[in-house]
Amino acid sequence: MNRLIVLLAGVALCASSAALAAEACEGSTVVFQDNFTDDAGGWAVDQDIEVKGGAFTIKLRPDGMESNLNVTYTVQDADICSEAVWPDGEAKTLGAGLLFWGEDTKSYFQFGILNTGKFWIARRYDGKWHTIVENVPSDAIKMKPGETNKLRVSTSGNNAVFYINGTKVRELRGQPPKAGWRFGLSGDNFDKDKDARVTFKSVKVTE
């Protein structure tokens, strides 16, 4: 009996370890890490972006979208992880996302989740949006106010793999910039009448 208990515990531990590995960035070298204790992480801070006290907060106007590429780091074949937190209070339809394969503020890819339990992948090229994957339901997404979702994009060459809370949800072949690229965060507010906020607790990038 004791041997069976030990065996079952070992299986559970292995499953737990695999899930944690899928949630975490797996590169051997940490290129960038920011827990948002201050605004010195190289983000473009303006009236709609607040970085302090362990939070990166995007202020969203009605029916508005904000994207923020890190302006000081360029990567290649990177693993990007972040923790997005839905705001407390009355639920609005909100989106939170990771930006990757970014050339500039007009050209990048976006992997986002909605607090309605769906995710999407899109490309912005020369200022115009092109949807690649549109609003696919996923049980991996946590939807309640105050809940945290761990987002991860793992890239290698022209391949990108997408994870939500340790669950692989999609894989994509695309065209990354040849000379390295930038990463970032985004928020979307689909309420046409009220302001909203989306918060991130951390960002980690490894190669």
Report d(CA 69, CA 48) in Å as an integer. 14
Contact call for residues 195 and 61 (beta carbons, < 8 A): yes
Contact call for residues 80 and 153 (beta carbons, < 8 A): yes
Environment class of residue 196 by beta-carbon count within 10 Å: exposed (0-12), middle (13-18) or buried (19+)?
buried
Q: What is the pLDDT of residue 22?
A: 53
Q: What is the pLDDT of residue 11?
A: 35
Residue 158 identity: N
Q: What is the pLDDT of residue 23?
A: 62
Q: What is the pLDDT of residue 185?
A: 98
Residue 75 identity: V
Average pLDDT by consecutive 10-residue portion of the chain (207 residues)? 40 41 73 95 93 96 96 93 92 94 96 98 96 97 96 97 98 93 97 94 95
Percent of the chain with pLDDT over 90: 82
Q: What is the pLDDT of residue 91?
A: 73
* Cα 115 to Cα 17, 136, 184, distances in angstroms: 27, 12, 20
Q: What is the pLDDT of residue 53?
A: 95
Residue 32 identity: F
> For strand 107-114 and strand 65-69, is the pairing parallel, antiparallel, or unpaired?
unpaired
- Tell me which of 2.40.50.100, 3.40.50.10360, 2.60.120.560, 3.40.50.670 is the CATH number of domain 2-206: 2.60.120.560
Q: What is the pLDDT of residue 124?
A: 97
Q: What is the DSSP letter of 54?
A: T
Residue 139 identity: D
Note the pTM of the prediction, 2 decimals.
0.88
